[in-house]
Amino acid sequence: MASLSNSTNIFWQECPVGKLDRQKLLNQKGCVVWITGLSGSGKSTLACSLSRELHSRGKLAYVLDGDNLRHGLNKDLGFKPEDRTENIRRTGEVAKLFADAGLICVASLISPYRKDRDTCRAMLPDKNFIEVFMNMPLDLCEARDPKGLYRLARAGKIKGFTGIDDPYEPPLNCEIEIQQTNGVCPAPTAMAGQVVSYLQEKGFLEYQ
Ligand SMILES: Nc1ncnc2c1ncn2[C@@H]1O[C@H](COP(=O)(O)OS(=O)(=O)O)[C@@H](OP(=O)(O)O)[C@H]1O
Ligand SMILES: Nc1ncnc2c1ncn2[C@@H]1O[C@H](COP(=O)(O)OP(=O)(O)O)[C@@H](O)[C@H]1O
């Protein structure tokens, strides 16, 4: 891979139409909703439900799903720690562009390492990075195992699987935490509702 920060003699090009103009047009504020959690914790389910809910309210959102990005932009990356770090960095940069475009960008990736998520947070203006932690027990994720990957990891057929033999570092200061109540996971619409309430309360769903 080409090393980072190798470009020299480059200049920032300003554009006459800016983020505020686009936000006004869309009557919303651009931001990044970053969903992190174990495989099978419900990240994609929340991202889909949230995008449906925002769409029905006339708000423009776009989902960046880890699995999907690995089919294109990030297809050259595997699951070694340095590949995951680059995966998150690239996705953070893309999410930043979507937020600058005025959209509510919903990124759903395991993003297991705290420092990588914090790097993405630092790319955005204060308060515009909303970290959502899918705080679901490993037991539940493993019981769901929709893709059969935990079974393969337990059998030693996948090495370095998050939660099994690769670490997941939970957020220390996330904006939103989704968890079970009395051992029951909230329905997808309820999880999305929790995020929508946050966005509403913080003024992201209007321009003023
Ligand atoms: N070793 C290993 N560890 C974790 N996950 C694995 C691995 N190998 C493949 N997969 C599949 O890849 C999906 C995770 O991709 P991400 O880009 O979100 O991962 S990461 O943020 O770079 O850690 C993940 O998708 P989700 O289950 O939706 O989380 C898995 O389907
Ligand atoms: N809130 C929920 N209630 C019940 N089942 C859920 C919920 N969220 C996710 N699931 C189920 O759990 C499995 C994993 O969800 P998924 O969104 O694919 O997780 P991730 O993207 O984190 O890997 C899927 O079969 C999904 O239908």
pLDDT digits (tens, 9 = 90+) for 26-55: 999 999 999 999 999 999 999 999 999 999
What is the Cα–Cα distance from 206 to 23, expressed in whole angstroms?
A: 9
Quote the ligand 2 centre to 128 CA distance (angstroms): 26
Strand 104-108 and strand 31-36: the pairing is: parallel
Q: Which domains does the chain have, with CATH numbers?
A: 19-201 (3.40.50.300)
Q: Is the CB of 42 under 6 A from ligand 2?
A: yes
Would you place residue 4 in the very low, low, confident or very high pLDDT band (cuts 50, 70, 90)? low
- Judge whether residue 72 has pLDDT over 70: yes
Atom of ligand 1 lying closest to residue 43 CA? 28
Would you place residue 1 in the very low, low, confident or very high pLDDT band (cuts 50, 70, 90)? low
pLDDT of amino acid 126 = 86
Atom of ligand 1 lying closest to residue 108 CA? 18
What is the Cα–Cα distance from 71 to 66, expressed in whole angstroms?
A: 9
Q: Hey, what are 12's tokens?
A: 């920032």
Q: What is the pLDDT of residues 6-22, one digit of tens each?
A: 889 999 999 999 999 99
Which of 67, 80, 138, 164 has most ligand 1 atoms within 8 Å of its beta carbon, as the pocket-test mutant?
67
Q: Say what percent of the chain tops pLDDT 70.
A: 98
Arithmetic mean of pLDDT over the chain: 96
Q: Please list every protein residue whose CB sits less than 6 Å from any atom of ligand 1.
A: 39-40, 43-44, 66-67, 70, 79, 84, 87-88, 109-112, 147, 149, 158, 160-162
Strand 61-65 and strand 176-179: the pairing is: unpaired
What is the Cα–Cα distance from 121 to 123, expressed in whole angstroms?
A: 5
pLDDT of amino acid 135 = 98
Nearest to 174 by CA among 35, 46, 39, 43: 35
Q: Which residue carries 């992201």 as its tokens?
A: 204
Nearest to 99 by CA among 207, 174, 23, 15: 23
Segment holding 193, helix H or strand E = helix 188-201
pLDDT of amino acid 103 = 98
Compute, in degrees rounded to 10, the torsion defined by CA atoms 202, 106, 135, 37: -150
For the segment 157-167, the average pLDDT, to the nearest whole number, is 98
pTM: 0.97
- Judge whether residue 73 has pLDDT over 80: yes
Nearest to 86 by CA among 70, 98, 71: 70
Quote the ligand 2 centre to 64 CA distance (angstroms): 17
Q: Exactly one of 41, 44, 111, 197 is catalytic; which is it? A: 111
* Phi and psi torsions of 8, nearest 5°: -125, 165
Of 126 and 100, the structure prediction assigns the larger pLDDT to 100
User: Is 111 assigned a catalytic role?
Assistant: yes
Quote the ligand 2 centre to 44 CA distance (angstroms): 7
